[in-house]
Amino acid sequence: MGALDGKRALISGGASGIGRATALLFAQEGAAVAIVDLDGARGKEVEREIHQGGGRGLFILGDVSRAEDCRRAVEETVRAFGGLDILFNNAGIIRRATVVETTEEEWDRVIAVNLRSAFLLSKYAIPYMVQAGGGSIIHNASGWGLVGGPRAASYCASKGALVNLTRAMAIDHGAQNIRVNCICPGDTDTQMLRNEARQLGEEEERFLAEAADRPLRRIAHPQEIARAVLFLASDAASFVTGAVLAVDGGASAD
């Protein structure tokens, strides 16, 4: 039996990176998995991969910064799978800039994708979790939600807010048997990390080598972050709520 047999999950930003790795792992562990993403081609490919592995998968095209798209994603998941037990608020973007360099539009977009989406998807998902007798919500924050980072003001603000939103939601919804936790990954080998090098005008391989400067002397693979999410989503973490788990190769300890 898989760790998530019979569970129904929704993952935002599930078409690539950590979201994709988590969607595939959840499906392998027995969950029916819906993903919502703006990337239609990659989203459909993840859906196909889940089906090819014998799982139940659903891709939903949507912009999770929009309330209507978040509501629709939750409702389509419930309609397809009969309920919702797990929500992984994973969608995220980064703008490498100081507050002076960041435009108002860039600030609003980062906050909308990284923070507003977690609020909206949780808002619409929680009533269905209550109906199911409980559930698990995991926010994807960042090591830079625990400490500051250079030229990433909007990103750090959004991820720091997710950390404390986790605690507030855990208090509010514990009595409903809904656990709310947060992971704080370190640099992970995703397209977003490589995009940071371009934003900063740095050579990609040098940027990745510098990102590996942590006690474990490397960056993470998306599958390693996915395994931490699986733990928090599963019954193995049945008494864990309000937790903020650093999955960063020791960067926050250094």
For the segment 188-210, the average pLDDT, to the nearest whole number, is 91
98 pLDDT above the threshold of 90: yes
- Pairwise CA distance, residues 240 & 184, whole Å: 16
Residues in the chain, how many? 254
Same domain, 181 and 196: no
Interval 202-249: pLDDT, tens:
998 899 999 999 999 999 999 999 999 999 999 999 999 999 999 999
Whether 128 sits among the annotated catalytic residues: the reply is no
Q: Active site residue: 59, 124, 144, 155, which one?
A: 155
Average pLDDT of the chain to the nearest whole number: 97
- Pairwise CA distance, residues 38 & 40, whole Å: 6
In a domain? residue 250: no
Interval 59-76: pLDDT, tens:
999 999 999 999 999 999
Same domain, 103 and 208: no
21 pLDDT above the threshold of 90: yes
For residue 140, list its beta bridge partners: 183
Q: State the total domains in the chain.
A: 2
In a domain? residue 120: yes
In a domain? residue 195: yes
254 pLDDT above the threshold of 90: no
